[in-house]
């Protein structure tokens, strides 16, 4: 049976930006009833963790493994929020080893990747749990309802009220709407949701709100980087060659090595059960296509192990894998936005009571967790000013 719900505010998406926004909003608006609607089974979005039924006790961060704050403008809003997360012991400074593998397969420790510049932070638990803790810390009165496994496919704005419809026909009515994903604003929604008009364009026709028109026009120029992540559940006895005991260890490949081995970076993740998980990232289009077109996934998986073993052949800390190490593959159609970043001035339409946050906004954190958090903090302030 289809259900109908009514809220003061609905948030679409359950990634880190949605969680930061919800947490701050709950703190400042204790009487408001809010909902978070997410297609996934839990929180975290692209900063989440694979907890598999098959591999009990394993938790592999299969999207962002950690995050870095590069903000050189000493943004106080962001800084005080990071301090709050540190004080709450949700995160800690990530002092894990980072290696940059160069052409001779030697390691350098100089930091120069978009994912490691500035200060690096690690969730004290898994990445999914970071999002969860962020919300729970301010959900003391249980004012937020979570609707998981719910895909929003349609938006309407009627009589100053949003009507948000899910694929299975559930309806959410709300005075305010927050979109933490831009799927419902972007042309890729047509194919993904199998619809014939971009949902936000359908809800707010052209020439009704200049800001929305500009936002939708700019988004036409935003594209997305696809990625694959390979989650390697190593065998019983797999370990480092040395006695490294920190939670994570990162190996970045310089461009020419990335072209040769097809890997972008490799993150070793020590599990609570002391086994060593490995997550390999690739954004090499040729390699991604060879996965998509592979007749036999097993052959592709063997290629991953072969490349890994060649890459680490003479490495002083990493051991080779064996061909019976278990690999699962995660496909990210849109791992990061690229191209045009959206100006923060387009984050809120007062007329339509709709706000947007996420890593698709301009700034040093564009395409990263830093941008997601900052845009959520800024939006929450704007919404509060509007509600008061």
Phi/psi at 60 (nearest 5 deg)? -110, 120
Q: Which stretch binds ligand FAD (CB under 6 A): 79-87, 132-140, 215-223, 363-371?
A: 363-371
Burial 269-300 (b: 16+ CB within 10 A, else e): bbbeeebbbbbbbbbbeebbeebeeeeeeeeb
Q: Does 335 bind ligand FAD (CB under 6 A)?
A: yes
Taking CA atoms, 195 is separated from 188, 342, 388, in Å, by: 10, 24, 37
Q: Which stretch binds ligand FAD (CB under 6 A): 99-107, 237-245, 307-315, 362-370?
A: 362-370
Of the candidates 268, 368, 377, 379, which one interacts with ligand FAD according to CB under 6 A? Answer: 368
Q: Does 269 bind ligand FAD (CB under 6 A)?
A: no
The residues that bridge with 50 in the sheet, in sequence order, are: 60
Q: Does 250 bind ligand FAD (CB under 6 A)?
A: no
Of the candidates 172, 230, 332, 352, which one interacts with ligand FAD according to CB under 6 A? Answer: 332
DSSP letters spanning 232-263? EE--TT---SS---SSEEEEEEPHHHHHHH--
Q: CA 201 to CA 221: how far, in whole Å?
A: 16
- Give the position of tokens 């200049």: 210
Cβ atoms of 47 and 370 within 8 Å: the answer is no
Q: Does 46 bind ligand FAD (CB under 6 A)?
A: yes
Q: Which stretch binds ligand FAD (CB under 6 A): 58-66, 155-163, 212-220, 346-354?
A: 58-66
Q: CA 374 to CA 370: how far, in whole Å?
A: 6
Of the candidates 34, 45, 144, 222, which one interacts with ligand FAD according to CB under 6 A? Answer: 45
Give CB contacts under 8 A, 24+ apart, made by 267-274: 267/61, 267/65, 268/240, 268/318, 269/60, 269/61, 269/65, 270/245, 270/246, 271/57, 271/58, 271/59, 272/57, 272/59, 273/57, 273/58
Give residues 212-231 in contact with ligand FAD (rule: CB under 6 A).
Answer: 227, 229
Closest approach, Cβ 295 to ligand FAD, in A, equals: 25
CB of 159 or CB of 283, closer to ligand FAD: 283
**Tokens of residue 123, six digits:** 């969730």
Closest approach, Cβ 286 to ligand FAD, in A, equals: 18
- Sheet of 91-93: strands edge to edge? 67-69, 119-123, 91-93
Q: Which stretch binds ligand FAD (CB under 6 A): 32-40, 204-212, 306-314, 348-356?
A: 32-40
Q: CA 135 to CA 179: how far, in whole Å?
A: 17
Interface size with ligand FAD, residues (CB under 6 A): 38
Q: Does 282 bind ligand FAD (CB under 6 A)?
A: no
x/- map, 118-157, ligand FAD, by CB under 6 A: ---------------------------------xx-----
Q: Which helix (H) or strand (E) holds 373?
A: helix 369-387
CB of 40 or CB of 343, closer to ligand FAD: 40
Q: Does 14 bind ligand FAD (CB under 6 A)?
A: yes
x/- map, 176-195, ligand FAD, by CB under 6 A: ----xx-xx-----------
Of the candidates 39, 122, 276, 327, which one interacts with ligand FAD according to CB under 6 A? Answer: 39
Q: Are strands 171-179 and 354-356 parallel, antiparallel or unpaired?
A: parallel
Residues that bind ligand FAD (CB under 6 A): 12-18, 37-40, 45-47, 63-65, 67, 115, 151-152, 180-181, 183-184, 227, 229, 281, 332, 335-336, 358-359, 367-370, 372
């Amino acid at each position: 049976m289809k259900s109908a719900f009514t809220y003061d505010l609905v948030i679409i998406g359950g990634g880190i930006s949605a969680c930061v926004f919800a947490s701050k909003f709950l703190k400042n608006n204790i009487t408001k009833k809010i909902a978070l609607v997410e297609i996934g089974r839990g929180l975290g979005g692209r900063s989440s963790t694979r907890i598999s039924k098959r591999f009990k006790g394993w938790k592999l961060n299969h999207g962002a493994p950690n995050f870095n704050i590069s903000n050189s403008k000493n943004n106080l809003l962001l800084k005080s929020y990071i301090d709050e997360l540190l004080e709450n012991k949700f995160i800690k400074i990530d002092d894990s080893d980072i290696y940059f593998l160069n052409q001779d397969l030697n390691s350098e420790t100089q930091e120069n990747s978009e994912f490691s510049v500035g200060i690096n932070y690690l969730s004290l638990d898994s990445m999914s749990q970071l999002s969860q803790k962020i919300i729970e810390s301010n959900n003391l009165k249980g004012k937020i309802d979570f609707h998981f496994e719910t895909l929003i496919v349609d938006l309407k704005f009627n009589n100053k009220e949003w009507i948000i419809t899910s694929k299975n026909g559930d309806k959410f009515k709300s005075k305010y709407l927050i979109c933490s994903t831009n799927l419902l604003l972007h042309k890729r929604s047509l194919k993904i949701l199998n619809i014939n008009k971009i949902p936000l364009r359908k809800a707010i026709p052209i020439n009704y709100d200049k800001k929305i028109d500009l936002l939708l026009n700019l988004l036409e120029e935003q594209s997305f980087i696809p990625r694959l992540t390979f989650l390697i559940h190593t065998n019983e006895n797999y370990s480092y060659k040395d006695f490294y005991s920190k939670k994570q260890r990162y190996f970045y490949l310089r461009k020419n090595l990335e072209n040769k081995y097809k890997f972008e970076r490799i993150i070793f993740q020590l599990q609570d059960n002391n086994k060593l998980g490995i997550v390999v990232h690739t954004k090499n289009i040729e390699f991604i296509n060879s996965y998509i077109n592979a007749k036999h996934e097993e052959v592709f998986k063997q290629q991953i192990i072969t490349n890994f073993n060649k890459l680490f052949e003479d490495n002083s800390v990493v051991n080779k894998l064996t061909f019976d190490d278990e690999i699962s593959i995660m496909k990210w159609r849109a791992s990061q936005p690229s191209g045009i970043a959206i100006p923060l001035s387009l984050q809120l339409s007062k007329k339509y009571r709709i706000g947007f946050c996420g890593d698709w906004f301009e700034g040093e954190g564009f395409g990263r967790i830093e941008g997601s958090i900052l845009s959520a903090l800024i939006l929450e302030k704007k919404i509060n000013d509007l509600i008061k």
